[in-house]
Structure 1
Amino acid sequence: MNPRGLRIGLTGGIGSGKSRAAEAWAALGAQRLDADAVARSLTAPGGAALADLQAAFGPDILAADGGLDRAAMRARAFADPAVRLRLEALLHPRIGAALRAALDAATGPVQVVEIPLLVEQHARWRPLLDRILVIDCPVERQIERTMARSGWPRAQVEAVIAQQASRAARLDVADAVIDNARDDPAALDAAVRALWARWLGTSPPGEGAHAPG
């Protein structure tokens, strides 16, 4: 086992269930890091990226609480590729630096880094990671799940998916794939336990002496 801990990049399209998979890793004792959580902290009231974002996009990007109006900024970014690229140029280096620092400080056998845009930013993230795990499901399941949880109309979900890496591109960079087409948390947990055993050569904590098959 890598003495600094096995670093797993976990990704998947919107609605694939990657956050649920990250929770399953954490439940076994992995340290969970989340690129979206870092982005939220950078753009929360008083966040380190707010001044630069205001300089780039104007003061009207702020919500009533003084943080970034994420819904409005998301809409602008999806409507205008130049806005999206500028937003990513401001946020992604900061997110990367924060996650690198967290990995350098990490202890324990496994660090799972949830990165929604891992494939889109593959050259940035791949050197930091030992494995890439893709949570996969058909595009129609992504649409159904995202509509159900967010209340977005179908066209909005489809627009998000169109700007993400394709399902084929995600599968192409994967060291392992978990099929999460069914809404079956027990099956997802079992797949994560099996990967722990396969990649670390030992059962997860509390699993006993024998790895699952």
Structure 2
Amino acid sequence: MHISRIGLTGGIGSGKSTVAQLWRDRGARVIDLDAHSRAVLDLPGPGVEEAIARFGEQYRAEDGTVARTELARLVFADPAARADLEAIVLGRVEEAVRREEEQMVCEGADLLVHDSPLLLEKAQDRTGRYAEVVVVLARREDRIERIARNRGRDRAYAESVMSAQVTDLERIRRASRILLNTGDQELLARRAGRLLESLR
């Protein structure tokens, strides 16, 4: 059976995760790479211990996992630290994604969506892995407001993360499909639904 993979990505606050959920609601099989990434640091185990060994005990939370807020503050300000953290996390994520894909294929899925925030930053669009790369775009100020409302984070945090990600111009250049999140939720749902049908 031929399997088509769709890469879904977008900058922080763009609405990418909302689109992923809208697609799940319409029956798409979506793999959340960010959730797999979080699990490496949020569950006690080898990933946590490797991160603590690299960054120091001051980044260990009271529950024995990684203090994510403090570590995020470090890695978004230090490209070398960010590269080290990604090296710790990404291999484990790849293995988790492989296992989830196998399960979905066994259940009959032939279209798999990778909800991947770092798809372009990690040049996954250049591997031949994806039949299509869908980028969700939103206005910068809308994104900053959404980050404040949904995550309780300030403008400085939002801009530090944005500066570590590729630009919207680069996203437009490398996308095969663009989904604009420039209206209300109802409009986004309609656009996301039409796009999913065309991908199928």
Q: Matched residues in 2 for 1:28 and 1:126: separation?
A: 28
| Matched AA of 1:178 | L
Contact 1:118 1:125 in 2 (8 A): no
CA–CA distance in structure 2, aligned partners of residues 88 and 124 of structure 1: 17
**What one-letter code is carried by the residue in structure 2 that aligns with 1:54?**
I
Does structure 2 retain, via aligned residues, the 8 Å contact 1:119–1:170? yes
**Residue type of the partner of 1:185?**
Q
The one-letter code sitting in structure 2 at the alignment partner of 1:106 is M
In structure 2, the gaps of 5 or more residues are none
Q: Are 2:193 and 1:193 equivalent residues in the alignment?
A: yes
SS in 2 for 1:43: helix
**How many percent identity over aligned positions?**
32
2:31 is aligned, of 30, 33, 51, to 33
In the other structure, the counterpart of 2:86 is 88
AA paired with 2:185?
P
Tell whether the 8 Å contact from 1:6 to 1:110 is kept in structure 2 after alignment: yes
8 Å CA contact retained: 2:148, 2:154: yes
The alignment's TM-score, normalised by the length of structure 2, stands at: 0.90
**Contact 1:41 1:47 (C-alpha < 8 Å) held by counterparts:** no
Deviation at 1:28, TM superposition (A): 1.0
Counterpart secondary structure, 1:33:
strand
1:15-164 equivalences under 5 Å are: 15-107=13-105, 108-123=109-124, 126-164=127-165
**Counterpart Cα distance in 2 of 1:188 and 1:48:** 39
Whole-angstrom CA distance in 2 between matches of 1:149 and 1:164: 20
Between stretches 34-43 and 46-55, larger displacement belongs to 46-55
Counterpart residue identity of residue 186, structure 1: E
Contact 2:77 2:160 in 1 (8 A): no
Aligned AA for 1:42?
V
Larger RCO (CA under 8 A, 6+ residues apart): 2
Deviation for aligned residue 1:133: 0.7
Contact in 1 for aligned 2:32/2:114 (Cα 8 Å): yes
Deviations 1:65-122 (A, max 9, x none): 1111100110111222221111111112221232233223323232211111111011
Give the superposition deviation at 1:43: 1.1
Shift of 1:194: 1.5
d(CA) in 2 for partners of 1:59 and 1:20?
Answer: 35
Supply the RMSD in Å over aligned alpha carbons.
1.8
Tell me if structure 2 keeps the 8 A contact 1:25–1:112.
Answer: no
Question: Shift of residue 151 of structure 1?
Answer: 2.2
CA distance in 2, matches of 1:4, 1:103: 13
Q: CA deviation at 1:34?
A: 0.9
Structure 2: how far apart are the matches of 1:9 and 1:99?
Answer: 13
Q: TM-score, normalised by structure 1?
A: 0.85
What is the match of residue 206 of structure 1? none
Q: Higher Cα Rg: structure 1 or 2?
A: 1
Segment drifting more, 20-29 vs 83-92:
83-92
